[in-house]
Structure 1
Amino acid sequence: MSTKNRNQLTDNLLTLIKSLSSSEKRQFSLYVMRISANNDSKFLSLFKVLSAQKEYDEPAILKATKISKDQLSNVKAHLYNQILTSLRLNPSKRNIPLQLREQFDFAMILYRKGLYQQCLKLLDKLKGQAIAYEEKNIGYEILDLEKIIESQYITRSRNNRADMLIEQTNELTYLNNIASQLSNLALDMYNTFLKNGYARTDEEAQEVSNQFFKSLPDYEMEKLGFREKLWLYQAYLWYSFLTQDFVACYRYATRWVGLFEKNPHLVAVHPVFYIKGNHYVLEALFYLNRTGQFETALDRFEAIMSNEAIPDDDNIIVLSFLYIYSNKLNLRFMKAEFSGAEDLLETIHKKLNRYKDKIDEHHVMVLYYKIASYHFGAQEYKQCIFYLKKIINSKTSKIREDLMCFAHLLNLAAHYQAGMDYRLEALVRSTYNFLIKMNDLHEVQKAIIAFLRNLAHISPLEIKNEFKKLHANLSQFENHPFERRAFLYLDLLSWLESNIQDRPIAEIIAEKVKKKLSEGLR
């Protein structure tokens, strides 16, 4: 085994062990101890040592166990597989797909033992469950095994059985093919969004549209089941996000969630999709600025997360944290509440630290941007800059381009507000070069860059007039189909108004929220 592979195995094993809860560790020990020969096994000794280590310490392992250096790689590989086997047998981890797969394995054993009638009886029951729980891939495998038995003329089955199996196979083939194409399309749209963010020009929007409809398969809506509709709504959701059609985003996110409400037995089977669907309902409402609906939906989302149908595993816990706390910050922006969030921010920091090995860097940076925006609204500019630096100085390529662009722009505004004028010229230059490099210098960015470039030459007596000019210039882009994306990240107009009126930005935003509510535009 190469050094690289050995290191990867070590990292994977240690990460897996650290992810185990106390009950899972007990389950593993009981699983191993059921076989008396394992009492003194080398992999169990390795497990005990690694469980106590905070960082991998090979000399300590060799000293505390009877494992030689030459044996260590094989013992680690064996331990890794044994832990996964134990988790598979853990009742709390035995979800529907795992149970169906296990039963199919049993059917295969019966077939190989020549117990064909027992095998067919189990397969028939299993096929109904697979279809009911939208596990159509294993449903196809079940049909394949049924056809193998039928083709051997073993069962002397009823005359129309072959026709029935062919019809069922054709139906599942069609649905599996449609699901595959729609899932590919949804993933392609999501990948495009993560890489580039929203479409920036008519040309980009048209390119996305061509890409989407070229890959969208022909389908008959009445033939689609839960799984196929789920992928269809996801694909349309990401297409709508890319083209900034947030009304359509809300429509498809609502349909996505509605699928689960019509099929509540599938919530426990696909909890991640159910959670994500609810999150995207909130995301769409945030961009539509529907504060009342958003707050109601957020309360509902928190209630959903306490539903017994939602499994209590690490993946769900991390997603719950990301979505609930990200939206709690969004609600504060919508209501212009830029004070009193100390406990909320402290909780976010604690959970980020706790789940740091389970959250990808892009989602961490999104949270940092929201935290920075909160501090900007609270006029805590140095703290705002602190979090923006984490984004700007990040070396990862996984951060969405538009997020990085607006982090640079907010950083400029924060430095100006903090009175750190001595750094503005260099920052303007570096931001300008960055935006040019990213091909993201559009009208809103150009106007801000030009304004900040001239700051050093503007008399303090004229500064308000310059703010007014910039405000008038930017106002024309607030509802522009592509330029408006700048206002999704930073309320530029409210920032300018706060400087023109010498008032805190939080007051300006709060007045706009109050006016909107008084007009009944909830």
Structure 2
Amino acid sequence: MSRRNSGGEDSLFLKLFDYLDKHSDHNDKEILKKIPKIKKAQISNIRANLYKQLLASLRLFHRSNNIDIYLNEQLDYAHVLYDKGLYKSSLDILDKAKTKALEQKQYMMAQNMVEFEKHIESQHITGSMSAKAIELDELSHFLIHRNQKSASLSSASLQLYGLYLRHGYVRNQKDYKYVTEFFEEKLPVYDLEDLDFYEKLYYFQSYVWYSNMCHDFLNYYRYAQRWVNLFHDNPAMKDKELASYIKGLHNLLNALFLAGKYKKFKKAYLELEQFNSDGVLSINRNEESLLVLFKNVHMINLHYMQGSFTECLEMMPELEKIIVSNKYNWDQHRIMVFYYKIACLYFGAVQNENCIHYLNLIINNFFPKVREDIQSFARILNLIAHFELGNELLISYQIKSVYRFLSKMNDLHEVQKEIFKFLRKTPRIEPKNLNHEFGLLRDKLVIIREMPFEKRPFLYLDIIAWLESRIEGVAVEKVIERNFNLLQNENATLG
């Protein structure tokens, strides 16, 4: 398409494209040196022209398999025909496109088409005024009601997800009250039977975010399963909303991981691993990014559950290459979660220097209002890793700054308080009494773990397994692996 333009800057942007396609260095100085016909004053405009042409070409390439692009294109054609005075031709295109939009449940686009139809019918005599006016009026009212409902539900889902990204899990009764009131205020009350596909999707998503934040992992699992089942019941929507389906699988796996349901987790994980192995679905870059992201997240979670930390670490160099190269443009939240998970793997495998390295990637970087809970626990784990390395002076210095950070975040739990107490007095504990002190701390934490809103610290780090590892003189992963095997044997006996 773009080669039809042959003169001036229109031919220079093609030369720029050929250069950028063959070279990784996109520095302006290098470009001006290699393409002398491009002047310094032109380069900004030529880059912008190239960008515009690339977007236009990509739009043409994707219009056959992207319903949004197709429908927008049909609406554009209808406007062009209308401007030429071809009113009936414009109405014909609108009618066909509107039917397609309604079939695909693209109600917002259908409403735009109906409004344009109404405009044409009201301005010009087309021979269909009387019957058409009634039909358009009824359809317009239906679509306005549908779109208002969908907009309110999608807003509720988005705002709850934003709340989760900022704060993570509720920390106390005050948090729980705030999140619950926020949820009840934002989520409208609807009968599920009255909701269409998208409305149900937003409704289930809202419950997923809310249940997860409130430690209600049973409902987190239930609504994540309903999210996935919605696509199973509407298989045609899987291709249209593939990213949402993949995210549903991710949340189902996350719920099973948090609830410790290993067998169900393993089954769902294998489903994710084998996703689209037959190549039936057309996967774009965004969907590929999500698949790679969630496969890695749950590969790590699987090894967490099994206690096979060292085995999992063998796969981390490949993941780090993806993160460093920014191949998929993952956001700060995703990258921070990976850094924390990798740090926990190293901690479990008793490689504390590497653990601290990854924790510092969180602590020494600025992540404004993103998963403050993980930022807090990165600092706690950092103290413990330094304790393991015998860095007593560093700990005494860092305890104060970490305490201030957690106080500022309003994130001081009973667990953190007990760990602070323990670390402060360790320099005064005689080596022969250390195991006894580990045992006392473990017993306190076992009691705290059963308290409402105190389960959260144990979701980030199995602190009790760490204490048992110190008492027994083995790696943390060995304790978790032993506990995992005991649980599997118990489940096999029961079932």
TM-score for the superposition, normalised by structure 1: 0.89
Displacement of 1:155 in angstroms is 2.4
Counterpart CA distance in 1 for 2:225 and 2:438 is 41
- Where does residue 76 of structure 2 map in the other structure? 105
- In structure 2, the CA distance between the partners of 1:218 and 1:156, relative to structure 1 (3 Å rule), is farther
- Where does residue 18 of structure 2 map in the other structure? 48
Counterparts of 1:213-292 in structure 2 under 5 Å?
213-292=184-263
- In structure 2, the CA distance between the partners of 1:455 and 1:93, relative to structure 1 (3 Å rule), is farther
> Of 40, 49, 60, which aligns to 2:30?
60
- Where does residue 20 of structure 1 map in the other structure? none
- Is 2:260 aligned against 1:294? no
Displacement of 1:398 in angstroms is 5.1
> Of 272, 278, 285, which aligns to 1:314?
285
Offset from partner CA, 1:387-442 (integer Å, 9 cap, x none)? 11111111232541110111111111112222333422122222222212211111
Give percent identity, aligned residues only. 39
- Is 2:300 aligned against 1:329? yes
Displacement of 1:100 in angstroms is 1.5
Offset from partner CA, 1:186-225 (integer Å, 9 cap, x none)? 1111111111111111111111111111122243432221
Displacement of 1:239 in angstroms is 1.1
Counterpart CA distance in 1 for 2:39 and 2:474 is 71
> Of 469, 489, 494, which aligns to 2:460?
489
Counterparts of 1:435-514 in structure 2 under 5 Å?
435-514=406-485
Counterpart CA distance in 2 for 1:427 and 1:322 is 33
Displacement of 1:130 in angstroms is 0.9
**For 1:425, what is the secondary structure of its paired residue?**
helix
**For 1:304, what is the secondary structure of its paired residue?**
coil
The answer as to whether partners of 2:211 and 2:220 remain within 8 angstroms in 1 is: yes
- Where does residue 124 of structure 1 map in the other structure? 95
Displacement of 1:180 in angstroms is 1.3
Counterpart CA distance in 2 for 1:62 and 1:337 is 53
The answer as to whether partners of 1:237 and 1:252 remain within 8 angstroms in 2 is: yes
Which stretch has the larger CA shift, 126-135 or 109-118? 109-118
Counterpart CA distance in 2 for 1:32 and 1:229 is 43
Counterpart CA distance in 2 for 1:154 and 1:515 is 80
Counterpart CA distance in 2 for 1:479 and 1:117 is 70
The answer as to whether partners of 1:250 and 1:285 remain within 8 angstroms in 2 is: yes
Displacement of 1:156 in angstroms is 2.2
- In structure 2, the CA distance between the partners of 1:60 and 1:335, relative to structure 1 (3 Å rule), is closer
- In structure 2, the CA distance between the partners of 1:73 and 1:506, relative to structure 1 (3 Å rule), is closer
- Where does residue 355 of structure 2 map in the other structure? 384
**For 1:69, what is the secondary structure of its paired residue?**
coil
The answer as to whether partners of 1:97 and 1:269 remain within 8 angstroms in 2 is: no
Which stretch has the larger CA shift, 430-439 or 442-451? 430-439
Offset from partner CA, 1:246-294 (integer Å, 9 cap, x none)? 1111111111111211221222221111111110001111111111111
Which stretch has the larger CA shift, 166-175 or 349-358? 349-358
> Of 270, 275, 283, which aligns to 1:304?
275
Offset from partner CA, 1:86-105 (integer Å, 9 cap, x none)? 11111587411111111222
User: What RMSD in Å do the two structures reach over aligned CA positions?
Assistant: 2.2
- Where does residue 399 of structure 2 map in the other structure? 428
Displacement of 1:479 in angstroms is 3.0
- In structure 2, the CA distance between the partners of 1:453 and 1:81, relative to structure 1 (3 Å rule), is same
Q: Name structure 1 gaps, 5 residues minimum.
A: 1-30
Displacement of 1:60 in angstroms is 3.3
TM-score for the superposition, normalised by structure 2: 0.94
Counterpart CA distance in 1 for 2:42 and 2:473 is 72
Name the amino acid aligned to 1:199: V
Which stretch has the larger CA shift, 109-118 or 438-447? 109-118
The answer as to whether partners of 2:78 and 2:94 remain within 8 angstroms in 1 is: yes
Counterpart CA distance in 2 for 1:40 and 1:233 is 49
- In structure 2, the CA distance between the partners of 1:355 and 1:505, relative to structure 1 (3 Å rule), is same
**For 2:444, what is the secondary structure of its paired residue?**
helix
Counterpart CA distance in 1 for 2:198 and 2:136 is 22
The answer as to whether partners of 1:186 and 1:235 remain within 8 angstroms in 2 is: yes
Displacement of 1:376 in angstroms is 1.1
Offset from partner CA, 1:102-140 (integer Å, 9 cap, x none)? 122222223333333333332222122112222111111
Q: Name structure 2 gaps, 5 residues minimum.
A: none
